Amino acid sequence: MTGRSGDILFDADRLRVYPRMAIAAYVAAAIGIVATSVSMIDFFGKPLGYDFITFWSASHLTLQGDAAAAFDFRRIFAAQQLAVPATTSIFLWHYPPTFQLLAAPLALMPYGLSFFVFVGAGLVAYVLTLRPLFRLGDLPPRELTLILLAYPGLFICAFHGQNSLLSAACFAGAMLAHRKGRVWIAGAALGMLAYKPQLGLLIPVALVAAGEWRLFFATGIAAAIFAGVSTLVFGVDLWFVFAKNASLVGEIMEEGMLPWSKMPSAFIFFRHFGVPAQFAYVLQGATALGAAASVALVWRRVGAKPLAWAALVTATLLVPPYTFDYEFAIMGLPLVLLASDMSARGATRAEKIALLFLYIMPIFVAPFAQATHVQIGFPALLLLLAMAVRRAYREASAPKATPFFSTPNQASAASTMATPPATEASARL
């Protein structure tokens, strides 16, 4: 490896050491949080796994035969006190019947065990689907796995006990299956995102723009089956209860009853600067339209290529006004795809520094917003989308490019033979 300033951050030795340091810090933090908790209430006064407690409580009510009770704050709070008796905070349920179906078995286990099973399954799915898409020079799979596990967005998601690891695995699994020509499996993976419908809004835009009609119909059929089974299990009325709850979510968000410091949406970004809610919604809508247009243009230009998937996933996070920092775990996929592309085709020093910033950024979003009232998560997502779109277009315009999914030896040989422009850093990540 070279010692030039543009490459020193991506030296192979550092890529082996730093992830281990980060993982050790996460483990120490987790041990510290548990050790300093009292009756499963942490230092901040919240129950351990304070988002997961909502999933477990909704499952408990569902298994009792009253799925709609999950939307009743009194009933779900009572269930949460069964999980963590010392809790005094209410964590509301806002999910559709599709996720209620997936979450239903959680309360078959005690709260603590259920948390570890849920988070552990998410971590396994995350690594198994993202690892095959990851290439960094000659780094072996074990080192790449550690880089994945060291990503702060993953730690935040696991700490909350949230479901974004599953969302990332659905996107990555769809990409892997599509790459292998298994369209129906890819459609099933994308259709699973119906458990969180806002994550699927741009999928039809991308597939139609690229003319991926088989995957379009496979995804639609899978989503319809998923929703249909949920309806058969819970009945149609639960969908109306969920829809009615949406207005409550908006009110809670607008009034600042949710932690804005942890919400990297355009709506919250502008509200932090005092923009009225109505105009902030207009700006959120403009952001969503711009994100959709970017996805349509990239997928029409390059098709279902890795960087097009990176643009789709990033743009998806820009669409809803209601989003949280634990969903930065989903951002792990476009980061992996960009890093792999930079490794294969080279990158400027500015691109490498931007990639490093985006990798470590999730851990600083909430503290920075609390200190400055500036939500850096939103512009960071815009930066990631711009990088994905720019590199996708540049790849499409290049006469020849190193195969994205080449073996490490092939990538190394191609990189050795290529002569990059003088303005670009030639060493790989």
Local confidence band at 400 (pLDDT 50, 70, 90 cut-offs): low
- Provide the CA 419 distance to its chain's centre, in angstroms: 35
Picking from 356, 277, 341, the residue whose alpha carbon sits closest to that of residue 309 is: 341
**What does the mean pLDDT of the chain come to?**
89
Residues 6+ apart with CB under 8 A from 259: 366
Tell me the residue type at 43: F
CB-count burial class (<10 Å; 0-12, 13-18, 19+) for 279:
exposed
Q: Residue 399: is its pLDDT beyond 70?
A: no
Cβ pair 390, 350 in contact under 8 A: no
Least confident window among 70-84, 295-309, 341-355, 387-401 = 387-401
Structure tokens belonging to residue 66: 């009253």
User: Residue 45: its pLDDT value, please?
Assistant: 87
> What is the rounded average pLDDT of the residues 64-79?
95
Distances (CA, A) of 122 to 47, 161, 207, 212, 330: 20, 10, 26, 28, 12
Helices 332-345 and 306-318: crossing angle, nearest 10°?
Answer: 150
* CA pair distance 381, 198, nearest whole angstrom: 16
Return the minimum-mean-pLDDT range out of 64-68, 170-174, 257-261, 421-425. 421-425
Q: Find out whether 27 and 154 touch, Cβ atoms under 8 Å.
A: no
Evaluate if residue 226 carries a pLDDT over 90: yes
